[in-house]
Every structure is written in C-alpha cells, then in structure tokens.
Chain A
Amino acid sequence: MEMEKYFRVDKLPHIWCPGCGHGSVMMSIVKGIDKMGWDPEKVTVVSGIGCSSRAPGYMNFNTLHTVHGRPIAFATGIKLANPELHVIVITGDGDGAAIGGNHLIHACRRNIGINVVLFNNQIYGMTSGQYSPMTPEGSMATTSPYGNIEPPFDLCELTRSAGANFVARGTVYHLPKLDSYIEKAFGKEGFSYVEAISQCPTYYGRRNKMKTPLEMLEWQKKNSIDIKKARDLDSEQLKGKIITGIFAERDDEEYTARYDQLIKSVQGGKE
C-alpha cells in the first residue's frame, strides 16, 4: 500500500484497543500529509501524553512524544526555531483541553503555523476511564460514578474566538469529511485546529450503554449535526449534539512570518 512509507511498520501492532477510533484519525493525518506532498524530512509530529499521543511513534517523520499537556509549547519552539518545518501536534481531550488548554489558546492567538489534531474520545483512556473536560454531561466514568455534572468544553468555539486560521470538527464515522478538514487545515499557513471525535469502547462505551464499537460509531452518526443546520437550532435543541463542519477559515498572517519581518526590520533599520 502506498501509505506504508509514512508508517514505521516494524512498530506495529499499535497499543490501541480493538475498536478504538484513533488509528482512523492517524490515517487521516497521514493522508493529509500525502496530499500536501510534504517532504517527510520536513515534517515534525509532536504529541503529549495519553492514548492519542502514542500515534507519532508509528509515523515515519521526526516525532516527539513530550510531557502531559505541553506538546503545543514544544511545537511552538520547533516552529519558531525553524519555520521551514511542517509542525503537527497530536493531542487528546485530556492533554489538549485540560492540562494543555492554556497553550492551545495562546497558540491560536499568535496564529503560529502549527496544525493541531485533537483526538476527542471524551475520556482519559490511558489512565483507564476518568472523565475529561470533553466528556458529555451525564456520562459515567471512574471519577464520575454517579454521572458527570460538568458541561463539556467546545474547543472549536474557543479556538475560533482565540484567532486560529482554521477550525473544524469531524468524526471517525464521517471519515472522508474528516480527511477533507485535515487536508484544508494542513493547507493553511497559520494555526489550525481539527477535532476528531473518536471512540473509546473500552473505557467510555462499556460504561455508557454502548457495548460495541459499532454502537459508538452509530452514536456519532445519530448525534452529529452539520454546523449550517445547527445555526437554526437553539441551545436546548443542540444539547448533547456533535456539531461538525468548518468553524473558521481565514488567512491572517502567520506568526513566524511576522517574526521574520521583525528581524528584517531590526537588522535593516526602518523599512
């Protein structure tokens, strides 16, 4: 298969559970890189800690598995130090929305050329099933044994407001659409955020009346609503729904390009 060159096949099989959606999202990212025609030597994939963050280990690029919650901080250093690199961050709902939330919004604000793909399986899988800031209300988790009373974070709204050049949400069920969002994100010069709704049958599904991975995919299908349709619905009607589609698409100047301008003007006097 043509995609094989992008993977470290000797590192397979992967560590993810049967039925996990993460492999599909990883493939979607690799397809995006292929579509861009990027030189693999110039691609750097950075991740934090968690199930999603194990993906870079299987991907044949420069890959960096960092500490919990901070991959965007590392990626910022990489991109600023060498703007020629294509820097992709793979993170999860715990890594990106909880411990790493601050880095996410500031990277949006700077509009630095980093492509973040957040694997949202709505649970802390690696630590065996605690609720995350993106776990739906009412969900059962090991740390919400009576049901989760916290509302989930909508990071698409957040990243759009914070200044990302491209923001979209897709699901593993609607994979071709997810592919197209990731491709568009990679085509942007500035910061992009793509959220991929993934499924964790082991620690989310089983505790929330979805016994099989298939039931979880059906849940994605049933609950997803396109952003254009969502505009006509009120918050009550949208409760518990997955709003999919493109949330932001703009072409504001990218941070490292602005920095290069600054260097030029400092070195050459006033332009």
Chain B
Amino acid sequence: MTERVKLMQGNEACVEGALDAGVLFYAGYPITPSSEIAEEFAAKLPKVGGKFIQMEDEIASMGAVVGASLAGKKAVTATSGPGFSLKQEIIGFANMIEAPCVIMNVQRAGPSTGLPTSPAQGDVMQARWGTHGDHPALVLCPNSVTDAYLLSFQAVNWAERFRTPVILLLDETIGHLRERVILPRKDEMVITNRKQPHGAPGSFQPYDITDEDLIPPLPPYGGGYRFHTTGLYHDETGFPSNRPEVTSRLLNRLHEKIDKYKETLFLYETYGLRQANQLIISYGASARSAKAAWRIAREKGLLVGLLILKTIWPFPEEIVAQAGHDKNNIVVAEMNRGQLIGEVERVMDKRIPIRGAQRADGVLITPEQILAKLEGVN
C-alpha cells in the first residue's frame, strides 16, 4: 500500500479518520456547517456493516451515541453551536460514566443561531466548560484537511483509551475547505480499542481500578459481564453513593486519568521559535492566517516565532510557557473576542505583553490583522 493522495473536504476527512479508527456508529441531527459529516457517514457506514441514524434532535443523537458505545461500538456524532449547546448534558453524562465517544463541533458564529455558514471559534470555552460540574475535557483543533483526518483518528483512539468523550473542534473554514491531502498508509495507522476485563464475570466490578492508568475496563452489553451504570456519583461497583470519600475519589480519578498522560496529549506545531523575540500563538483556521503572517514577518526580517496548538484542552501550559518565556511580545490570534488568550495570560510571566488578534464578525481573520499586532512591522 502507498500513501493516499486525495482531494478532500475537511468534514469528509473527519469521517475518513473516524472510519479508519474503527467507528461503526453515528447518530446525528442536521445542522450547518456540519451536515456533510452526517451525509458521508450515512453513505459509508452501511458499506462496512456500521449503523447511521438521524435522530429526532441533537440531544437524542448524543444519547444514542452513548448507548451505542456501551453496546460496544465506537460511536461519533457531529454538530455545530446550537446543537453543541443541546448536547452538553449528555456529554457530562459520558464523562461521568466514562463512555468513549467523539463529538465533532464544526463551529459557526454565535451566540444563538448566529451566522450558520460563517467561521468562528466562539466555542473554545464551551468545549471546556459547556457541561455542568467539575469535569475534565479533551479537545482537538485541526487547522487543515489532513489534520482533520489525523485528529479525527486520534480523537477516536483517545476516547477509547481514556474512556472519555473527546471533542473535535473544527470551524466552518476547515470543515468546508477542500485541499489536497496525503494520508498515511492505512497499515501505518495504529488503532486503539477500549480495555476489556479478564476476570470472572461474577466478581466483575465496573469501576474497580486495578491498573496504573486509572482506567477501568469496559465490556459491551451482552458480553457476559452484567453491570449497572449511573450518572450519580458511584463507587467501584457502579452503584450510587453520596459518601464524601467516594465522591472525591471518583472526581479526582476522572481528572487524574487524563492529567497523568498530559504530556503525551499535547499536539502542536512550531515555526522559528529559537531565533525569535516575538511569538504568535494560534489554532484552527486562524492558524492558517497566523502562518501567513509569520511568513510575511520573517520576509520583513522580523524575529517572529509561531506556535500552532492542536490540543487546546487540557491547555498545554508547559508548551506555551516554554515557547513564550523569552519573548517580548506575544500575539494570540483567534476568531472570537478573546477566549484562549486568557489561558495564555494565565501561564505567562505578567511582564510579557500579550496582545489579541481577534475577529468575530463571521469573516476569516486575515494575516494583516495578525501582523498589525507585531512590533516593528511598519
């Protein structure tokens, strides 16, 4: 087998990545600008023996995805802002019961119905804190069609490995972008499957943590291990408990099982960081304009570095601090009124000036807007 060279759309690449990772179930509800994801799954899943269902609403599709996951299938849904809002309760449920699943959110300009066909990155904080309670979040942001494929594949793998919902946060630009992609050979893609129990079914406790990775095995319904699952705080048996020590043990473990492997979760690209006294930080579609701005600045002889984040939650504190600690100007480029910039400010030395290159009018941010925030451009 050789590398696969294709002309592909971002939304389509998400589907390809998920299918290559072993996804066999999709439930969704039509919403712009994510609908191509549903359409592609509808066409392709039956061909590989998988199931597609268009549910009656966004909430139902999130519920069906978690149900299918518990029945043993790798499951995905896709949506955009308004639907992402509706899905939040069950995303929290998936967090709590540790159901592997992937939620693709192709961001459009909000709040409310907003601008359905225009790009935005206004759901950065919602992807982190959208569902109630003190939950962890694992969120990936592609900035190209190739990235959409690779991160979709990665999202499914990590959902399985960490038994957690993973959010693939695209934006309208990346979702609808068509470009040439060179995908790795299929036999180079390493698939992760959720851990299975090995003991006797009679003594099985669904949340008994014996492994170092703090992640309990998840047998499928019908697989011989009968167990109970609830969104209430529960002990290792899976049954509800309101004992303070049980509550804190579960909540802490939900965080620790991801925190423990944080360093391996940080995906990013860097350009010219070493010979730089200024830094641009960006992600998603904005990162494309940031890269153009970086190139122009370099051509002008400015010492500028570029950090493109692909994992935005957990926030890659160490990576950002390392890239920015010796700079005298940091520009955070994003299509909102300043969401991830708050995180950058949190981790950086207060003496370093941090400027936002922000755009939230439904138009892709331009390299010029980002350049204007650098020092010494004119």
Question: Which residues in A have their C-beta under 8 angstroms from that of B25?
Answer: 77, 80-81
Please encode chain A, from 229 to 271, with 1 for each CB lying within 8 Å of some chain B CB and 0 for all others: 0000000000000000000000000000001001100110000
Q: Is A143 close to B, CB under 8 A?
A: no
Q: Which of A11, A57, A66, A81 is close to B63, meaning CB atoms less than 8 Å apart?
A: A66
Q: Tell me whether A60 and B90 are in contact (CB under 8 A).
A: no
Question: Which residues in B have their C-beta under 8 angstroms from that of A57?
Answer: 228, 230, 239-240
Q: Tell me whether B46 and A81 are in contact (CB under 8 A).
A: no
Q: Tell me whether B70 and A78 are in contact (CB under 8 A).
A: yes
Q: Tell me whether B67 and A106 are in contact (CB under 8 A).
A: no
Q: Tell me whether A67 and B51 are in contact (CB under 8 A).
A: no
Q: Which of B46, B64, B90 is close to A67, meaning CB atoms less than 8 Å apart?
A: B90
- A65-B231, A66-B231, A81-B67 as given contacts; A76 in contact with B60, CB under 8 Å: yes
- A85-B221, A267-B49 as given contacts; A77 in contact with B63, CB under 8 Å: yes
Q: Is A42 close to B, CB under 8 A?
A: yes
| Distance from A159 Cβ to chain B, minimum over Cβ atoms (Å) | 15
Q: Which of A41, A42, A78, A262 is close to B67, meaning CB atoms less than 8 Å apart?
A: A78
| Distance from B373 Cβ to chain A, minimum over Cβ atoms (Å) | 44
Q: Interface range on chain B: under 10, 10 to 19, 20 to 34, or 35 or more?
A: 35 or more
Q: Which of B51, B59, B220 is close to A259, meaning CB atoms less than 8 Å apart?
A: B51
Q: How far is the CA of A31 from the CA of B231 in the complex (A)?
A: 28
- A65-B228, A66-B63 as given contacts; A106 in contact with B71, CB under 8 Å: no
Question: Which residues in B have their C-beta under 8 angstroms from that of A259?
Answer: 51
- Write the chain A residue with the least CB distance to B231: A67
- A41-B226, A66-B93, A82-B72 as given contacts; A103 in contact with B47, CB under 8 Å: no
Q: Tell me whether B67 and A75 are in contact (CB under 8 A).
A: yes
Q: Tell me whether B68 and A81 are in contact (CB under 8 A).
A: yes
| Distance from B28 Cβ to chain A, minimum over Cβ atoms (Å) | 12
Please encode chain A, from 81 to 106, with 1 for each CB lying within 8 Å of some chain B CB and 0 for all others: 11011000000000000000011001
Q: Is A200 close to B, CB under 8 A?
A: no
Q: How far is the CA of A267 from the CA of B45 in the complex (A)?
A: 10
Q: How far is the CA of A61 from the CA of B61 in the complex (A)?
A: 24
Please encode chain B, from 22 to 49, with 1 for each CB lying within 8 Å of some chain A CB and 0 for all others: 0011010000000000000000001101
| Distance from A145 Cβ to chain B, minimum over Cβ atoms (Å) | 30
Q: How far is the CA of A46 from the CA of B27 in the complex (A)?
A: 18
Q: Select the residue from A8, A70, A266 with max chain B CB neighbours within 10 A.
A: A70
Q: Tell me whether A80 and B55 are in contact (CB under 8 A).
A: no
Within 8 A of A (CB), among B221-245: 221-224, 226-232, 239-240
Q: Which of B27, B57, B240 is close to A102, meaning CB atoms less than 8 Å apart?
A: B57
| Distance from B156 Cβ to chain A, minimum over Cβ atoms (Å) | 15
- Write the chain B residue with the least CB distance to A84: B222
Q: How far is the CA of A85 from the CA of B224 in the complex (A)?
A: 12
Question: Which residues in B have their C-beta under 8 angstroms from that of A19?
Answer: none
Within 8 A of A (CB), among B89-131: 89-90, 93
Q: Is B56 close to A, CB under 8 A?
A: yes
Interface set of A (CB-CB < 8 Å, partner B)? 8, 11, 40-42, 44, 46, 56-57, 60-67, 70, 73-82, 84-85, 102-103, 106, 259, 262-263, 266-267
15 contacts between A and B (CB under 8 A): A44-B221, A63-B229, A70-B59, A76-B27, A76-B67, A77-B71, A78-B71, A80-B25, A82-B72, A85-B221, A102-B57, A102-B60, A103-B63, A106-B60, A263-B49
